[in-house]
Amino acid sequence: MAVFVGWWSCANMLTGFAKSFGSLGACRFLPGPGEAGGYTASPKIVRRWFPLKDRGIAVGLYSVGGALGATIAPVLVLTLAAHFGWRGAFFATGALGLVFVAVWLVVFRDPETHPWLTEGEKKLILADDIASVQKSEEPELTEAGRWRSILTSRAVWALMFARLLTDPVWYFFQFWMPKYLHSERGFQQADLASMWMIYLAADIGFLSSGFISGRMIRKGRDPREARLRTMLGCALLVPLAPLIALTGHNSVVFGISMVVVLAHTAWLASISTYVVDYVPKPILGTAFGFIAAGSAVGGILMNETVARTIATHSYAPCFYAMVALHPIAWLLLRRFARKPWATAAA
């Protein structure tokens, strides 16, 4: 985590030295590996530090950080740029990342050796990992065996395609919704500040999924079934999206958008936690990165498709497409990623 965030921070600061369009493009390319690495390290940390019933809440909390960052960034960056210029904004945000790295190196330790934990706390944290080892769910693998185990798993492919299908919904609301409100609904620049309500709904969705599935686990429900049930509820709410295009009232547009975004971010936190629970610990980081690559591919395809759709038709087909994405993804998971890892791999 320290390496990835440090890489991202230094790459971000380099942008402040850009002198041309080419150097600017190169500098904006460099933060990508750092950001992606953070997303693959985080689930391994959650797997190591949290019992099954609390993992959904932990994933939801760190996922909220991204939504909060998207909310705070415009105000922070505009303020920094106004006082120190656009280059100063990149220097400052990169420096904040390096402060995080310093704090992380002081605070983070493996729970088995962390000096701040009592023996009782260590036992609680490590209980699920010990039970996992006793069930022989975590085989010793070579690097080639690691990739073979991932690439031959139908469950991993189902999870990857599920991310590919569903993550574009969140990308759409982040990057295209303001343009839709401006061009189709007549919102002016100042009016777009009301997007904070949609981001707030996203935060609630990230957090609520962990509490819902965690409650089911405490009542004795299998963790995989608890996550799938939570995702089923989300998959039934996201298809409300076409109502955004069909209504003539802006208040309804925001209301439906908030429901759809809340359901999607609850889905996203649940599927991320599902991967943490499902994949054996020795290959979790690699498998999570492979699955998350589906999200990136989905985002690329979404941007191309939305741009072409708007140019030839309107925004309406984009909202209509959201009817099927989550239900199809849920059926994929139900069919191919429901069995325990050892059974599914066999």
pLDDT tens digits along 111-122: 988 989 998 888
For residue 308, what are the domain limits? 2-135+151-345
What does pLDDT average to over the chain? Answer: 89
pLDDT tier, 129 (very low <50, low <70, confident <90, very high otherwise): low
Domains held by the chain: number:
1
Do the domain assignments include residue 255?
A: yes
Q: Is residue 140 part of a domain?
A: no
DSSP class per residue in 278-317: HS-GGGHHHHHHHHHHHHHHHHHHHHHHHHHHHHHS-SHH
Residue 28 in domain? yes
Token reading at 105: 């190196």
Q: Is residue 304 part of a domain?
A: yes
The least confident of 115-119, 252-256, 308-312 is: 115-119
Cβ within 8 Å of residue 162, ≥6 positions away: 271, 294, 329, 330, 332, 333
Residue 82 inside a domain? The answer is yes
Angle at 329 between CA 168 and CA 175, to 5 degrees: 10
Q: Write down the pLDDT at residue 132.
A: 54
Task: Tell me how far apart the terminal alpha carbons of the chain are, to the nearest angstrom.
Answer: 33
Residue 142 lies in a domain: no
CA angle 235, 241, 243 (to 5 degrees): 135
Residues 6+ apart with CB under 8 A from 334: 228
Within-domain flag for 190: yes
Distances (CA, A) of 155 to 175, 297, 299: 30, 18, 21
Tell me: pLDDT of 269 over 90.
yes
Mean pLDDT across 247-264: 94
For residue 117, give Cα distances in angstroms to 56, 69, 110, 121, 223. Answer: 22, 30, 10, 6, 26
- Domain of residue 160, CATH code: 1.20.1250.20
pLDDT for residue 133: 47
Per the domain annotation, does 143 fall within a domain?
no
Task: For residue range 26-62, list pLDDT tens digits in order.
Answer: 998 998 888 888 778 888 899 989 888 889 999 999 8
**pLDDT tens per residue, range 158-167:** 999 999 999 9
pLDDT over 90, % of the chain: 58
Distances in Å between the Cα of 341 and the Cα atoms of 51, 114, 291 are 19, 30, 15
Torsion of CA 274, 276, 277, 282, to 10 degrees: 140
Q: Residue 114 carries which DSSP code? A: -
